[in-house]
Chains A and B, each alone.
Chain A
Amino acid sequence: MVLLQVEKLEVVYHQVLTAVQGVSLAVRQGQIVALLGTNGAGKTTTLRAVSGFIGLDDARVTAGRILYRGEDIHGLPPHAVARRGVVLVPERDKVFESLTVLENLEVARRCPHQEARRLYDLVFTFFPQLAAVRHRQAGYLSGGERQMLAIASALLCRPQLLLVDELSLGLAPRLVQALMAQLQAIRRELDLTVLLVEQNAAAALAVADYGYVMENGRVVLDGEPSRLRAHPDIREFYLGHGEQQTRRSYRDVKQYRRRRRWYG
């Protein structure tokens, strides 16, 4: 079943700049879907549109629909989106620094105590490090602990669809691997669906069931991870396995657009 369906989404910033130009995505129940692309490809904008934060930077959805379980959730206030089970783990400022770890979790809780206790236990079994620092202010946590806390507090919202923005940002590669594995385990345990927005294509494709690649506000490729990994452009521009050992960007290649179209 398709949980989240984005149809021909268009987002315009400041009434002039079209950041997302007709993006369509589908996230099926139980999958981990990766949305890949470099800076400025429109990934985060797409994610913001889904989580209801689009109005903040003078951005507007000018066309398209965002359907969650068949309901158009565009235009709902962010907290209403979160309460429907679409929960974001943001890229930056992902914890309340002046609150303790427990209070951070408490902010997100909106279920009765018994249910909450079960969730707390679950979170602390997944992230035992957090249990040790539960009374510490979140501002004093390390980057990895913050990311864990961010995921943990998102889980307290009892999400069905977890949107994760740049899980790997600023973290050591080993930690990224561990967190990705953790995410897979959580997904299985809670029957979650995950939309993973990443620049780190290798890490994301390792856990994903399906992937989309965005460039300049458009989806240019999509497919199973194995198929994406095998694609020469992905190998060269996103995974860094180019035949000539040069680190080029896709923007440097004239033929690129044409090749891509044949492929699609």
Chain B
Amino acid sequence: MQLVVNTLVLAATYALIACGYVLVYRVSRVLNLAHGELMMLGGYLLLTTASLFAGRPLLAVAVALLLSLGLGLLVYVVLMRHFTGESVLAAVLVTIALGILLRGLAILLWTAQLQYPLVALGWQNPALSLGGGAVISAAGLLTLAAVAVVYGGLLLFLRYTPWGIRMRAAGENPLLAAQRGVALPQVLALAWGLATLSGGLAGMLLACDSGIDGTAVIVGLKAFPVALVGGLDSLSGALVGALLVAAAEVLAIAYLDPLVSDVVPFFVLLAMLLLRPWGLFGRREAFERV
């Protein structure tokens, strides 16, 4: 029972991070390898706002979320804008370089120690009993809720709103979208903003659950196999991929060896790449075009 709960919470964390990979890839065909760092910055931003607005935790969270969104927009406007239409390698390398830069800056700004934003917020993270001997932390429960809200919101947004439809159109055929009057820079900036917002939210929840330091990046890196397993251009695929990878990881920790946990996602990823490289829910055509 506890294993199921652990799987669900881990899957929720992965899913929340993975949707950032999917959003950016879907709209701009860029695999954002700086997403882990952007997620980590979300946690650090919460740390800062929590001490800035001491005593008003909700305001602190809201400001941190806004800053996350702004960070994503900034990354696009300052950096990624110049790489639209460039080769895959160049764009991926840019995100790698950005990741290194952000990691260094994060240590310079917030030091390398493990820190707990919950303390500054003045909140607790009690373990809730679910019956049957299983427990879930309040932050874990919140993560599950956040996944439901974010994925529900994103799916509705992409399906029914004009901006969502434009985003899908731009992802499929940016040239035609521009010819139809869609301002690509705005759509791409929005995608980066939303991706960083959801990633930042994941970082904040992670920071609340287990504190924040440089190792948060590893969690972000482990979430990108999730996005690939589900199919890089499929949001619902990311949910399934998250469950799959999280289950494999939790089972491996329970029955094999805790040390394996860091590579399990990559084993799953390799198996997927060999069997069905476009992912569980990805479109084959999108893969062939790479």
Q: A: which residues have CB within 8 A of B?
A: 51-53, 56, 77-80, 82-83, 87-88, 90, 93-99, 103-104, 106-110, 153-154, 156-157
Contact = CB atoms under 8 A, between A and B. Distances in A.
A51 B176 CA distance: 11
B237 to A, nearest CB: 14
A80 B185 CA distance: 12
List 7 tightest A-B contacts by C-beta distance, closest first: A78-B178, A82-B181, A108-B180, A107-B169, A79-B183, A96-B169, A88-B179
Contacts of B176: 90, 93-96
Contact of B165 (A78, A83, A107): A107
Interface in B136-187: 162, 165-166, 168-169, 172-173, 175-185
B132 to A, nearest CB: 43
Chain B binding site: helix, strand, loop or mixed by DSSP? helix
B133 interface: no
Contact of B175 (A93, A103, A104): A93
Nearest to B233: A98
Contacts of A153: 180
Interface of B: 85, 162, 165-166, 168-169, 172-173, 175-185, 283
7 contacts: A77-B183, A95-B176, A99-B165, A99-B168, A99-B169, A103-B165, A107-B166
A12 to B, nearest CB: 19
Contacts of A99: 165, 168-169, 172
B178 A82 contact: yes
Q: Pick from B165, B172, B180 the residue with the most CB of A within 10 Å.
A: B180
B82 to A, nearest CB: 13
A149 B224 CA distance: 37
B179 A109 contact: no
A51 B165 contact: no
A51 B178 CA distance: 10
Contacts of B184: 77, 79
A77 B178 contact: yes
A147 to B, nearest CB: 14
Given A56-B85, A97-B172, A98-B283, A87 B166 contact: no
Nearest to A94: B176
A95 B166 CA distance: 13
Contacts of B183: 77, 79-80
A109 B283 CA distance: 27
Given A90-B176, A99-B165, A107-B169, A157 B85 contact: no
Contacts, number: 73
A95 B168 CA distance: 12
A103 B159 CA distance: 9
Contacts of B166: 107
A157 B168 contact: no
Contacts of A108: 180-181
Contact of B172 (A77, A98, A110): A98
A88 B179 CA distance: 6
Contacts of A79: 178-179, 181-184
Nearest to A95: B176
Given A78-B179, A90-B179, A96-B173, 15 more contacts: A53-B175, A53-B178, A83-B181, A93-B173, A95-B176, A96-B168, A97-B172, A99-B172, A103-B165, A106-B165, A107-B169, A107-B177, A107-B182, A153-B180, A157-B181
Nearest to B186: A79
A112 B196 CA distance: 31
Contact of B168 (A78, A88, A98): A98
B156 to A, nearest CB: 14
Nearest to B177: A107
A97 to B, nearest CB: 7
A98 B159 CA distance: 12
A80 B173 CA distance: 17
Nearest to B85: A56
Nearest to A104: B169
A110 B169 contact: no
Contact of B162 (A90, A93, A109): A109
Contacts of B173: 93, 96
A83 B186 CA distance: 15
Contacts of B182: 79, 107
A51 B179 contact: yes
A108 B173 CA distance: 13
B168 to A, nearest CB: 6
A108 B181 CA distance: 6
A239 B169 CA distance: 39
Nearest to B171: A98
Nearest to B161: A106
B257 to A, nearest CB: 43
Contacts of A82: 178-181
